[in-house]
């Protein structure tokens, strides 16, 4: 149970919006110079889900977000936010739609001339909420983000993490059912990033808001998202549950992002050091049904010696998985038997000299 001060009374939202892209494209045409920023996006975000959209710079992530909040218009395709197709929607309706979407940004985008309370109050003022009601709601929102005592501080008197908390309170002010976070933690140090991600999780769990997180950091995806879509060159090249993508990435780009977060295989320098000694090295995928232990026992019986030289196990979405790198020495047939047994049941890759 939430404590009274943390109660979701800060917002009445109890449910998120569904977002669906159908073959959406976006072409920028600047005086004859064409850039296909989105090349046919198909993606569904279910209500109340947290999705991480990850990709290198220029992959099309920001363009995708700008489509959702109607700040830019798609070239073709359909995009549903809730019931409504945003493509071709008149500006007046778009403005109403935007009120149901909260945004948080890398640079916080706070008004420096207003206090924390003033920043949170701003969208409520624009929406015409009377002052007494506004003050009460601002106090609730600041409490919800853990800044109940900082209402009178100006942005310059706040740390980066506190500024982003104000940004989140402001984004929640109009009671959105969808929150878009565009590189919202990229300007923060690791501890503060963790704090802000924890708050976003609370927003999702307690208020049920759908959250779309745009990031180039796989750690962010890992700690907050249910699903992940990997973008490359205007396309979604991989999509799945965070567990599926982390434990078994299908594309090179996804594997590279996963490696930045898990660091459970030796890098080239470590591999070089490990190869300087005797024996053969194998990196084995450890999923919950891994045949590693059976194969290791059999190989030892047959005269191989096994030592674990590198690895890491992690838990995601209630599943444990990881990789170990092992060195096998001793009887050559036993070593080869280990490799052959595992390469049929699970991923087992030899690190070659």
Site for ligand ADP, rule CB under 6 A: 28, 30, 35, 37, 55, 57-63
* Min CB(229)–ligand ADP separation in Å: 12
Query: Which residue from 202, 243, 260 is spatially nearest to 56, judged by alpha carbons?
Result: 260
Non-local (6+) Cβ contacts of 14 within 8 A are 8, 207, 208
Degrees, nearest 5: CA angle 88-90-96: 120
* Min CB(35)–ligand ADP separation in Å: 4
CB atoms near residue 189 (< 10 Å): 12
* Min CB(28)–ligand ADP separation in Å: 3
Cβ proximity to ligand ADP: between 239 and 338 the closer is 239
Cβ proximity to ligand ADP: between 42 and 317 the closer is 42
* Min CB(220)–ligand ADP separation in Å: 14
Phi, psi of 42 (to 5 degrees): -120, 120
What is the rounded CA–CA span in Å between residue 212 and residue 105?
Answer: 12
| Contact status, residue 185 vs residue 224, Cβ threshold 8 Å | no
* Min CB(234)–ligand ADP separation in Å: 7
Cβ proximity to ligand ADP: between 71 and 308 the closer is 71
* Min CB(186)–ligand ADP separation in Å: 11
Cβ proximity to ligand ADP: between 35 and 307 the closer is 35
Phi, psi of 31 (to 5 degrees): 55, 50
* Min CB(187)–ligand ADP separation in Å: 15
What is the rounded CA–CA span in Å between residue 176 and residue 203?
Answer: 11
Query: Which residue from 153, 132, 156, 131 is spatially nearest to 142, judged by alpha carbons?
Result: 153
Query: Which residue from 194, 199, 135 is spatially nearest to 167, judged by alpha carbons?
Result: 199
Cβ proximity to ligand ADP: between 30 and 112 the closer is 30
What is the rounded CA–CA span in Å between residue 328 and residue 307?
Answer: 7
* Min CB(45)–ligand ADP separation in Å: 17
Q: Is the dihedral of CA 216, 221, 52, 6 positive or negative?
A: negative
Question: What is the DSSP secondary structure assignment for residue 43, as one 8-state letter?
Answer: E
| Contact status, residue 26 vs residue 67, Cβ threshold 8 Å | yes
Cβ proximity to ligand ADP: between 19 and 37 the closer is 37
* Min CB(223)–ligand ADP separation in Å: 20
Cβ proximity to ligand ADP: between 158 and 236 the closer is 236
Cβ proximity to ligand ADP: between 140 and 232 the closer is 232
Cβ proximity to ligand ADP: between 22 and 66 the closer is 66
Judge residue 88's burial from the number of C-beta atoms within 10 Å of its C-beta, 0-12 exposed, 13-18 middle, 19 or more buried: exposed
């Amino acid at each position: 149970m939430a404590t009274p001060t943390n109660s979701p009374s800060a917002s009445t939202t109890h449910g998120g919006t569904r977002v669906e892209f159908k073959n959406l494209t976006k072409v920028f045409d600047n005086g004859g110079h064409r850039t296909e920023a989105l090349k046919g996006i198909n993606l569904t975000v279910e209500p109340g889900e947290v999705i991480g959209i990850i990709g290198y710079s220029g992959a099309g992530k920001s363009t995708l977000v700008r489509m959702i909040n109607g700040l830019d218009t798609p070239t073709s395709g359909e995009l549903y936010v809730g019931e409504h197709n945003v493509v071709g929607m008149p500006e007046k309706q778009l403005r109403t739609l935007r009120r149901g979407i909260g945004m948080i940004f890398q640079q916080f985008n706070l008004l420096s001339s207003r206090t924390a309370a003033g920043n949170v109050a701003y969208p409520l003022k624009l929406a015409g909420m009377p002052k007494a009601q506004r003050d009460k709601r601002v106090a609730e929102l600041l409490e919800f983000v853990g800044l109940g005592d900082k209402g009178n501080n100006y942005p310059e008197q706040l740390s980066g993490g506190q500024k982003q908390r104000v940004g989140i309170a402001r984004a929640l002010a109009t009671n959105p059912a969808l929150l878009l976070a565009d590189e919202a933690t990229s300007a923060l140090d690791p501890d503060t990033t963790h704090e802000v991600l924890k708050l976003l999780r609370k927003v999702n769990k307690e208020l049920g808001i759908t959250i779309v997180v745009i990031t180039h950091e796989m750690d962010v995806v890992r700690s907050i998202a249910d699903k992940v879509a990997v973008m490359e060159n205007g396309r979604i090249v991989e999509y799945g549950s965070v567990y599926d993508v982390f434990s078994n990435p299908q594309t090179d780009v996804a594997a590279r992002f996963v490696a930045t977060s898990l660091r459970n295989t030796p890098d080239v320098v470590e591999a070089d050091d490990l190869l300087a000694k005797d024996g053969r090295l194998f990196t084995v995928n450890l999923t919950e049904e891994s045949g590693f232990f059976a194969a290791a026992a059999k190989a030892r019986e047959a005269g191989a010696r096994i030592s674990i030289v590198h690895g890491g196990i992690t838990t995601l979405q209630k599943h444990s998985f990881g990789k170990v790198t092992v060195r096998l020495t001793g009887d050559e047939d036993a070593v080869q038997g280990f490799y052959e047994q595992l390469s049929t049941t699970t991923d087992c890759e030899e690190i070659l000299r």
